[in-house]
Amino acid sequence: MGQLKLTGITKSYNKTQVIKPIDLTIDEGEFAVFVGPSGCGKSTMLRMIAGLEEITSGTVEIDGQVVNDLPPVKRGISMVFQSYALYPHMSVFENIAFPLRVARMEESEVKALVHKAADVLKLTERLEHRPGELSGGQRQRVAIGRAIVREPQIFLFDEPLSNLDAALRADMRVELSRLHSKLGNTMIYVTHDQIEAMTMADKIVVLRDGIIEQVGSPLELFHKPANKFVAGFIGNPNMNFMPCLCTKVEALSVTVSLHTGITAKIPVPGTDVAVGDTLTLGIRPSDMTVGAGEVSIPFTPEVVERLGNETVIYGATGGDTPLCVVADGNVRVQTGEVQTFGFSSVDAHLFRANGVAFARKVDLAALAELD
Ligand code: ADP
């Protein structure tokens, strides 16, 4: 139970269509994350699924039943918001119990369900406290507890961690993943933070301007981004992009000339491309090496961040193309001087002028086995 199917969903405010027709299926038990920059339509999508926002056209189905006309409480979903929306004068117990009180449930049942949720969320010791006596993370857990007691088919989370500091956010990510393995419910989570998407999702849905750019597992999106937008959005630090010119096309490779006059033969199928086309080469910072590589490029490091386990080097190549390299923690780097950095052509990504990626040879079945 808990399969969600969206068919041709759109949303318009006055004459502006903010969600273009979207088709999407989220399977039972999946942890799906909607991610994208602010204003791309993530919250609107979630609110339409919840029944808090009218759908302009299309259908929302939960377990095969069209729920377009069902009010939120009848959809078998629970939603957790960024603002915890707790009642300050009520105890943690009463805050969690609130939806059960509204449903006029028997006291013994209320107690059992609240204690079960508190146990899962490690809140048992706090049940008699007021929200004001809790940390931000604990308050968010109370809000999640209130969603859990309703035993929904589907949980909806709208940026639930954005009010927490970085360390707590990292802890809560792990707790939410644990909660998902324990409960096994379908979860749909909205965030603008690609790290939250990468760390928690079974399935990431990348949105931009009301359309889906790509749907896939975290590693699929990382290794096989469908286009330059997804390539730049997923991965931290961002992928490096360098303008280049196609100089040779073969069945299984495309050779490009970088602005620095260096050529690279990228192992991608030479389809829908011609000599003279302007392309973009993408290379992840972690795929670059300090010193020469199969492809070597001159790079002037400007800022070096020593993180202990790794060193992040920011600078420019070919004059003004920004470049970032993630190297070993103890690597020697001289700022302000041109040095040679390298990468392997198999690690490169190649994009057409319209942003669409050339297909890379990545063994997705092997990646899937890692989970
Ligand atoms: P996100 O959650 O990705 O930041 P939203 O779903 O909140 O984005 O908004 C998507 C788009 O819809 C934005 O351009 C926003 O300005 C617009 N929008 C959201 N709510 C309304 C509204 N009530 N009236 C008009 N436009 C709205």
Structure tokens at 287: 């795929």
Percent of the chain with pLDDT over 70: 100
**How many C-beta atoms surround the C-beta of residue 289 within 10 A?**
19
pLDDT tens across 350-361, in order? 999 999 999 998
3-state DSSP call for residue 332? coil
pLDDT tens-digit readout, 278-331: 999 999 999 999 999 999 999 999 999 999 999 999 999 987 899 999 999 999
**Span from the CA of 11 to the centroid of ligand 1 (angstroms):** 10
Distance of alpha carbon 311 from the chain centroid: 24
β pairing state of 31-35 and 203-208? parallel
Q: Are 167 and 263 in a shared domain?
A: no
Closest C-alpha residue for ligand 1 atom 10: 41
Question: According to the model, what pLDDT value does residue 371 have?
Answer: 65
Q: Report the alpha-carbon distance of residue 183 to residue 28 in Å, rounded.
A: 12
Q: Report the nearest atom of ligand 1 relative to the CA of 44.
A: 6
Determine the length of the chain.
371
Using an 8 Å Cβ cutoff, are 257 and 263 in contact?
A: yes
With a CB cutoff of 8 Å and minimum separation 6, the contacts of 158 are 43, 46, 79, 80, 81, 82, 190
Q: What is the distance in A from the centroid of ligand 1 to the CA of 19?
A: 9
Please provide the average confidence, as pLDDT, over all residues in the chain. 94
* Range list of β-strands (E), 235-284: 240-250, 253-258, 263-266, 278-283
Q: Which of 196, 231, 266 is the last residue of a domain?
A: 231
Ligand 1 geometric centre to CA of 256 (Å): 41
Please tell me whether residues 237 and 226 are part of one structural domain.
no
Token reading at 72: 């939120």
190 with 64, same domain: the answer is yes
CATH number for the domain that contains residue 189: 3.40.50.300
Q: Of the residues 13, 54, 194, which should be mutated to test ligand 1's pocket, given the most ligand atoms within 8 Å of the CB?
A: 13
Q: Is beta strand 154-158 parallel, antiparallel or unpaired with respect to 186-191?
A: parallel
Which residue's alpha carbon is at the smallest distance from atom 12 of ligand 1?
Answer: 18
Q: What is the average per-residue pLDDT within 62-85?
A: 90
Residue 347 has pLDDT above 90, yes or no: yes
- Tell me, yes or no, whether 195 and 151 share the same domain: yes
Tens of pLDDT, residues 198-225: 999 999 999 999 999 999 999 999 999 9
* The pLDDT of residue 167: 84
- What would the pLDDT profile of 239-272 be if each residue is shown by its tens digit? 999 999 999 999 999 999 998 889 999 999 999 9
Whether residue 216 sits in one domain with residue 175: yes
Q: Contact, 18 vs 41, CB < 8 A?
A: yes
* Residues 165-193, mean pLDDT to the nearest whole number: 91
Domain enclosing residue 211, as ranges:
4-231
Distance, CA 161 to ligand 1 centroid (Å)?
20
Of 346, 319, 233, 237, nearest to 285 (Cα)? 237
Out of 76-85, 99-108, 238-247, pick the least confident. 76-85
Q: In this structure, are 210 and 271 located in the same domain?
A: no
**312: CA distance to ligand 1 center in Å?**
35
Owner of token pair 């204003």: 39
Residue ranges lining ligand 1, Cβ < 6 Å: 13, 18, 36, 38-44
Q: The domain spanning residue 326 has which CATH number? A: 2.40.50.100
Could you tell me if 194 and 147 lie in one domain?
Answer: yes
245 shares a domain with 217: no
> Are residue 220 and residue 157 in the same domain, yes or no?
yes
306-325 residues labelled b (16+ CB within 10 A) or e (exposed): eeeebbbbbbebbeebebbb
Determine the Cα–Cα distance for residues 109 and 60; give it in Å rounded to an integer: 32
For ligand 1, atom 14, the nearest C-alpha belongs to 39
> Of 199, 231, 263, which residue is a domain's last?
231
Percent of the chain residues past pLDDT 90, beyond the cut = 82
Ligand 1 centroid–CA 283 distance in Å is 33
What b/e sequence results for 181-204 when a residue is b if at least 16 CB atoms lie within 10 Å of its CB, and e otherwise?
eeeebbbbbbbbbbebbbebbbbb
Q: Strands of 120-171 (E only): list them.
A: 154-158
pLDDT tens digit sequence for 130-145: 999 998 889 989 999 9
The count of other CB atoms within 10 Å of the CB of residue 49 is: 26
Question: Using CA positions, which residue lies closest to atom 6 of ligand 1?
Answer: 41
Residue 181 shares a structural domain with residue 269: no
Considering its fold, how many domains does the chain have in total? 2
Q: From atom 22 of ligand 1, which residue's Cα is the shortest distance away?
A: 13
CA distance 207 to 39: 10
Residue bearing the CA closest to ligand 1, atom 13: 39
**130 and 72 in one domain?**
yes
Domain boundary among 167, 198, 231: 231
Checking if the pLDDT of 234 tops 90, the result is: yes
Q: Tell which atom from ligand 1 comes closest to the C-alpha of 45.
A: 6
Which amino acid residue places its CA nearest to atom 1 of ligand 1?
A: 39
Same domain, 117 and 216: yes
